[in-house]
Amino acid sequence: MTGFDIQPELVLALLAFVVPGYVWTRVEHWVAPQFRIAERERIIRYVAYSGIALAVTFPLLTTDSGLIIANNWTFTNSCKAISALLIIPCVLGFGSGKIKRAQWIRIQLNKLNLPSLYTAETAWDKAFARVQGCLVSVLCDDGVTVFGLYNPESLASTVNDERDLYLEAMFYEQDNGSLVVDERSQGMWIPQSHVKRIEFFNVKGEADV
């Protein structure tokens, strides 16, 4: 008996409120890369995600007599704890990341005209929320026009101060004016400061207005 005894229930409780949120956030950011956030907001997100994960996994962490760690630390209880603290948060993070990357969700919400669920704060948001699988013509500040494909793997940032654009495939213009996919290209990142005008076209070459 020491002067400071660590209660296993307390350890599990602390882990349950920290680890799932951290794992969820890391997996979510891996699936849907995001801009860095402030430390305070990150901690709040950890706790919030952990709370949601705990609500989902609570039956795995408890028995009729209390927390599973208060009982015999069996192989079954170990598997339950690992599932609750690591595996299920990974699944939740993967799912939420996919949802954040799903452009079609924003498109459908916009079509349903549900401002409480989706709000197009700027013309930039409105434009990119309604298009997908289209050819994009971007006039840059140096006078050069680039052509790219805006598809699910592309990204138009909705962060107010970072409205940059990533196009997943690029095209080059031939002498006869036709566009050909650049097989060597892995896409192009265009910062907001370089964009003067963007025009959208459907795959048949007709303006998407």
- CATH number, domain at 197? 2.30.30
Query: Domain span at residue 156?
Result: 106-201
Q: 38 in a domain, yes or no? A: yes
Tell me which of 101, 131, 157 is where a domain ends: 101
CA 180 → CA 37, 50, 75, 153, 198, distances in Å? 39, 48, 58, 19, 19
CA 137 → CA 110, 164, 174, distances in Å? 23, 15, 15
Q: 152 in a domain, yes or no? A: yes
**pLDDT band at 110, cuts 50/70/90?**
low
For 12-38, the pLDDT digits (tens) are 667 777 888 899 988 988 887 665 667
User: Hey, what are 18's tokens?
Assistant: 């920290």
Q: 47 in a domain, yes or no? A: yes
The dihedral formed by the CA atoms of 65, 71, 76 and 81, expressed in degrees to the nearest 10 = 90
Q: What is the pTM of this model?
A: 0.51
User: Hey, what are 48's tokens?
Assistant: 């919030």
Same domain, 112 and 181: yes
Q: 151 in a domain, yes or no? A: yes
